[in-house]
Amino acid sequence: MREIPGRRRRPTPGRGDGTSEPIGAALTYAARWGWPVLPGVAPDARRPGRCGCSDPACTVPGAHPFEPGLLAATTDARMVRWWWTNRPTAPVVLATGGRAPCAVSLPALPAARAVRALDRAGMRLGPVVASPARWAILVKPYSLEQLGELLHAKDFVPGSLRFHGEGGYLALPPSGTGAGRIRWQRAPLPGSASPWAPDVEAVVDAVVDALTHTGVSAPEL
């Protein structure tokens, strides 16, 4: 499956690929694309914006693993179906790294400006995940050593950037979280193969350059 550079792809409800509901999306990610997933903790329905976990200061409300823990992430369709049959509205959490993509995320406003700058520069991007507060650009898996060398070579890295690598996680569409609904800002094209993603070096270089030269800044969220 190929991504078309510069094209904005938004999912259409009921488009027939089974990803409009959490269970369909989780099965697509796990069984078709080989991405290990697990259910998230979900937001607290009684307290908008709060997490359903026991931490009153949770920084990613409803968008992180709880029970089971991150190490339980799997591509087994039977396990995925069992989880979401029992918890049909649970967020879909991707265990990043390994066989799955990693991600680079930043606050939504500078992310939108950076992505537009990357499009104008002809940078080929893969899927982009969006919440009301942050966007995450999916990239090929990378190691901590690789990321460390990349950041060490930079004179400046915006503090609002976050890196979701090996041992990390990211909520995927169509999850509902305490921070709002997770959606595709740039959706993968439907098909049987795992979506293409760029190298982390290309994305970090381009995002840092775009943020620096366009004067985009934002507090860390």
Which residues are CB-contacts of 55 (< 8 A; sequence separation ≥ 6)? Answer: none
Residue 140, helix vs strand vs coil? coil
Higher pLDDT: 123 or 137? It is: 137
Residue 171, helix vs strand vs coil? strand
Q: Where do the H-state alpha helices sit in the chain? A: 22-27, 77-86, 108-120, 144-152, 200-213
Say which DSSP state 61 is in. T
Can you give the residue ranges of every domain in the chain? 22-213
CA distance 103 to 21: 23
pLDDT tens across 150-176, in order?
Answer: 999 988 888 888 999 999 999 999 999
CA distance 180 to 7: 25
Q: How confident is the model at residue 57 (pLDDT cuts 50, 70, 90)?
A: confident
173 — alpha (psi -120 to 50), left (phi > 0) or beta?
A: beta
Residue 99, helix vs strand vs coil? coil
Strand order in the sheet with 37-39: 37-39, 92-95, 169-172
Predicted pLDDT at 142: 93
On the question of pLDDT at 30 being above 80, the answer is yes
CA distance 46 to 137: 32
CA distance 162 to 191: 29
Peptide bond into 188 cis (omega under 30): no
What pTM does this model have?
A: 0.84
What would the mean pLDDT of 109-131 be, rounded to a whole number? 89
pLDDT tens across 92-116, in order?
Answer: 999 999 989 999 999 998 889 889 8
Which stretch of 63-67, 132-136, 163-167 has the lowest confidence by average pLDDT?
Answer: 63-67
